Amino acid sequence: MQKQLENVSILVIEDEPIIALDLQYLLESSGAAPVTLEHALDGARQRLSGPALPDVVILDLVLGGTSSLPLAEELRHKRVPFFSPPATPSAYHPASRMFRRSKNPMLSIS
């Protein structure tokens, strides 16, 4: 039986180790190879500067508190398909701190 992602090279750019490793496991289980992990913008840019580009990139939109949208624009210019999975705010994301301080009970996170 052929796996869905057989021989698809994927670059995962994610700063949360448990999420990155979980994605790597799931993608490799579906046949993707190689699945490469990067946790910071500098490392991702270096990996994407070579001649061998991945078939697809999974991109976290916030890496270490820094927006990765400029990198998304670079991927678009290089014509590398990418997507950013939806996420819930982490304890370190500014939005989650805003919700915690909200006096509106509909926006409050306990």
Mean pLDDT of the chain: 81
Q: In the chain, pLDDT over 70 holds for what percent of residues? A: 76
- List of domains in the chain: 10-101 (3.40.50.2300)
For residue 28, give Cα distances in angstroms to 14, 17, 25, 86.
16, 16, 5, 21
**Model's pTM, two decimal places?**
0.76
> Contact 55/31 with Cβ under 8 angstroms?
no
According to the model, what pLDDT value does residue 14 have? 94
Q: Per residue in 3-42, pLDDT tens?
A: 788 889 999 999 999 999 999 999 999 999 999 999 999 9
The CA radius of gyration of the chain, in Å to the nearest whole number, is 16
Give backbone dihedrals phi and psi of 104, rounded to 5 degrees, phi first: -80, 115
Query: Which amino acid, residue 107?
Result: L
